[in-house]
Amino acid sequence: MPILSLITFLPIVGVIFILSIDSKKQELIRITSLLVSIVVFFISLPLYFNFDSHAYEMQFVEKLPWIPSFGINYYVGIDGVSLFLILLTTFITPLSILASWHITKSIKEYMIAMLVLETGMIGVFISLDLFLFYVFWELMLIPMYLLIGIWGGPRRIYAAVKFFIYTMAGSVFMLLAIIALYFLNFRATGEYTFNLLEYYRLDISFAVQFWLFLAFALAFAIKVPMFPFHTWLPDAHVEAPTAGSVILAGVLLKMGTYGFVRFCLPLFPEASHAFIPVISWMAIVGIIYGALVSMVQEDLKKLVAYSSVSHLGFVMLGIFAFNIQGIEGGITQMINHGLSTGALFLIVGMLYERRHTRMIADFGGLTRQIPVFATFFMIVTLSSIGLPGLNGFVGEFLILVGVFKSRILYASLATSGIILAAVYMLWMFQRVMFHEITHEENKTLKDMNKREWAILLPIVLMIFWIGIYPNSFLRKMDASVNHLLKQVGNKANVASNVRVQNKPEQLQEDATPKIDIVTETKTEW
């Protein structure tokens, strides 16, 4: 059964179905889209159970010719890196739809945007053809742009346009780099293809790698977002509706980090090594800067938004440690961040629905009024800080182990981010939840309703699962990450000053001739 295509395009089928519903039947539209996304989630589960954790090759592969004259295929498949990101997407989407129940303005269009977004997101993670990848990568911009711009807060237009243009500006250079790879590959093999796995075998000279890496990295760094490309993020998060923020933080940002793992590292290993200091310092600055800025925020949503900059800095640092702990930690932390920060945005959204404010100063002493809510909030907060036993710890610990192995200085600096995280999260929690109730309105708050239980409970269960038994996740990644390290190590230059400890014997200089890109081609096409 073509599971991957099914989960990618089922939301589109849902869209067609919703289009035929009268827009006045709001409840029916909501239920239909929720059902569609739940069905997608259940269809995606066999991906986990049938995934062969010993194989690094792509699994569940589907390949169909799409634009043969350009060598473009509909070519999809997953490995241990993308598996969990897809599951995260299919897991978060129904919860986001459930969290959008209160939306009444153009609900039909809203749900259509959500479902198209799901298609785009899954498409990004499964594409093994670079053209296809780019199409999904851009496709997903449109619904997100509409979600922020139509259903967002007061400065939504500014935020939406900024989001769109930032991302677009980054990705057009990636498009050119993709085209360059296309011709490089043709010159090396005589075959026109956008097949990523073919590109992995290319041998590219360092100078060309350098530029192509930059083009790809710009697109991904904006998406992550890494300091200093993060300025669109607080605007987008603050203005987006709750579900928009959840998906933005939960999945969209992961496309940047995923892009580094899937494209930058294996395609341009030497350049990646050369860029370790740059990327690592950007990540470290992001970690500390994000944490410090979070600390002074008065708006809950902004606080969570800036904490994302900090958390994603950890992910990047882990990936660029270039060892198994670092990368697996990075991938785990992508999932963790999706769950915890997603949950935090949901919680902020729930508070906002009750009080129509997000200012920390407007709350205080809520524990007495809404104890169950407070419990959930506490668990998620602790998970975000990285308390042992919860998911955040696993990711951060692995990342730090990985980074310590390669560069102690980076690791020591990054550790300060964890302390700062505890400061801003706990302080925020204290101000919102503890002390006396200072505002009259807060005395009449209602505790969680069934819908909110249904939203938060699955996330909290996942938080515990990953925290207590991470091996059920890590074991699925091992083969793929090992293979990735082999790819990076194999082609990388020995002169690079990074110790790739797992596979030292793989580090060999290759003798194959290098190709240069900017030369006149003789072969007419």
Using CB under 8 A, list all residues that contact another protein: 66-70, 106, 109, 131, 134-135, 138-139, 141-142, 145-146, 149-150, 156-157, 160-161, 164-165, 168-169, 172-173, 175-176, 179-180, 182-183, 517-521, 524-525
Tell me the closest approach of the beta carbon of residue 459 to another protein, in angstroms: 31
> Which CB, 23 or 50, lies closer to another protein?
23
Give the type of residue at 493: N
Tell me the closest approach of the beta carbon of residue 393 to another protein, in angstroms: 40
Nearest Cα neighbor of 85 from 483, 414, 480 is: 480
Extract the tokens encoding 157: 């237009």
Cis peptide before 277 (omega within 30 of 0): no
Tell me the closest approach of the beta carbon of residue 306 to another protein, in angstroms: 26
Given its phi and psi angles, is residue 364 left (phi above 0), alpha (psi -120 to 50 degrees) or beta? Answer: left
DSSP string, 479-493: HHHHHHHHHHHHHS-
Cis peptide before 513 (omega within 30 of 0): no
Tell me the closest approach of the beta carbon of residue 428 to another protein, in angstroms: 31
Extract the tokens encoding 180: 């360059």
Cα angle: 144, vertex 147, 151; to 5 degrees: 165
Distance CA 460, CA 16 (A): 33
Tell me the closest approach of the beta carbon of residue 122 to another protein, in angstroms: 15
Tell me the closest approach of the beta carbon of residue 27 to another protein, in angstroms: 20
Residues 21/29, Cβ–Cβ less than 8 Å = yes
Q: In whole angstroms, what separates CA 260 from the centre of its chain?
A: 11
> Which CB, 106 or 502, lies closer to another protein?
106
DSSP label of 127 = B
> Which CB, 68 or 513, lies closer to another protein?
68
Residues 385/392, Cβ–Cβ less than 8 Å = yes
> Which CB, 255 or 492, lies closer to another protein?
255
> Which CB, 214 or 295, lies closer to another protein?
214
Tell me the closest approach of the beta carbon of residue 136 to another protein, in angstroms: 8
> Which CB, 151 or 289, lies closer to another protein?
151
> Which CB, 158 or 206, lies closer to another protein?
158
Strands 59-67 and 72-78: antiparallel
Residue listed under structure tokens 């670092």: 326
> Which CB, 13 or 176, lies closer to another protein?
176
Tell me the closest approach of the beta carbon of residue 318 to another protein, in angstroms: 31
